[in-house]
Amino acid sequence: GQSLEQPSEVTAVEGAIVQINCTYQTSGFYGLSWYQQHDGGAPTFLSYNALDGLEETGRFSSFLSRSDSYGYLLLQELQMKDSASYFCAVRAPMNRDDKIIFGKGTRLHILP
């Protein structure tokens, strides 16, 4: 089967750094994406890693290790507005098409 595992909840303090891990098990792999979803809102795209290494976009960074089937999202200088759910998603080949498979999401709580 195909599955993605990420922690259900993470708590961190405003101004700190937090890492949200994602491990995946899929038959085939093109890349790993991260999405943010605030309560009542739609998921919004944060990043995509197709190759090993760290991609940085402002306060957010995303890392991928294809050999370990593992990635993480790193959020620095946490702000209260970063309180949200974060989903990892794998893009993988499926028959003749691509498929995007989502993890169940990590709820990030930020304490003042």
Partner 1 sequence: EAQVTQNPRYLITVTGKKLTVTCSQNMNHEYMSWYRQDPGLGLRQIYYSMNVEVTDKGDVPEGYKVSRKEKRNFPLILESPSPNQTSLYFCASSLGENGELFFGEGSRLTVL
Torsion of CA 108, 105, 33, 96, to 10 degrees: 180
Structure tokens at 101: 């498979």
What part of residues 13-32 is at the interface with partner 1 (CB under 8 A)?
A: 30-32
- Residue 25 or residue 44: which is nearer to partner 1 going by CB? 44
- Residue 13 or residue 46: which is nearer to partner 1 going by CB? 46
What part of residues 24-83 is at the interface with partner 1 (CB under 8 A)?
A: 30-33, 35, 41-45, 48, 50
Of the ranges 16-24, 61-69, 76-84, 103-111, which one interacts with partner 1 (CB under 8 A)?
103-111
Structure tokens at 2: 């195909």
